[in-house]
């Protein structure tokens, strides 16, 4: 995965409003994948851990979380959608 891929490859942005602040999820295709599937529509309500889409043949997803969230993963770490906990609320640590 090349660091500039988010600038040149196909991508899909999903904005999520939560009580903890806004979250932005960017699904980015790889050079060969070029196929993003997103099942959500504006106004849909998502539950914690709910899958909302996928990138066929894999690739990359970028997350922008509220500043106060404590990350539990490292940049570049492989995670699994709906399974890997990527951050915690400071009071819940």
What number of helices (H) and strands (E) belong to the chain?
Answer: 1, 7
The residue length of the chain stands at: 93
Catalytic positions, written as ranges: 59
Tens-digit pLDDT profile for residues 32-73: 767 888 999 999 998 888 888 888 877 788 899 999 999 999
CA–CA separation, 71 vs 55, rounded Å? Answer: 23
Global pTM exceeds 0.85: no
| Residue bearing the bigger pLDDT, 27 or 33 | 27
Q: In Å, how far are 4, 34, 41, 50, 54 from 83, measured between CA atoms?
A: 27, 24, 22, 9, 14
Q: What is the pLDDT averaged over residues 4-33?
A: 82
């Amino acid at each position: 995965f090349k660091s500039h891929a988010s600038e040149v490859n196909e991508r899909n942005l999903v904005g999520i409003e939560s009580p903890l602040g806004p979250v932005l999820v960017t699904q980015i295709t790889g050079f060969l994948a070029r196929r993003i599937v997103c099942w959500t529509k504006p106004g849909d309500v998502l539950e914690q851990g709910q899958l909302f889409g996928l990138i066929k043949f894999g690739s990359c997803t970028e997350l922008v979380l509220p500043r106060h969230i404590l990350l539990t993963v490292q940049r570049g770490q492989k995670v699994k959608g709906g399974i890997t906990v990527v951050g915690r609320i400071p009071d819940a640590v």
